[in-house]
Structure 1
């Protein structure tokens, strides 16, 4: 029953995001926010589900967690430079040591 409730709520969440008549900026959820809400709902359903019914819910929860992590990683600015930037820094340091 909890799994059915979760899928029904998840479907309603997606339907409201895509078929809303009022497309105001505050009312549209980003993909990341939608996934986080779905993950919370999945966790609540896992807690309420009988032990023998939790397997598929855990699989869905893990998939949601992975997709959230991927989207969050894409949003963060890359702090590390490329390999070419690293080589350039090393050459500059080596050149500074030999010039002095």
Structure 2
């Protein structure tokens, strides 16, 4: 979901996505966990890739979301919000009953 959300903002290559994820607070994310996600998203038709020549070395493979990927992002955000609502409810202490005086 996070990879698709970042790609919705702008096309990126793999290492750039890693640094963008780190910039939003996932400091411990490793490149080894992002590339398999990109491979799966591309295989499933949620992202597409294209090569851009680089003056600093070999061409970079950039990724962008497809229409199906953007639909998946919407569905995943809904599911996340539903889960977040349940977790928040479960973690919220119940109100203390008011003491009744006779």
TM-score (norm 2): 0.33
Considering fraction of residues, name the structure with more helix. 1
Larger Rg computed on CA atoms: 1
Considering fraction of residues, name the structure with more strand. 2
TM-score (norm 1): 0.33
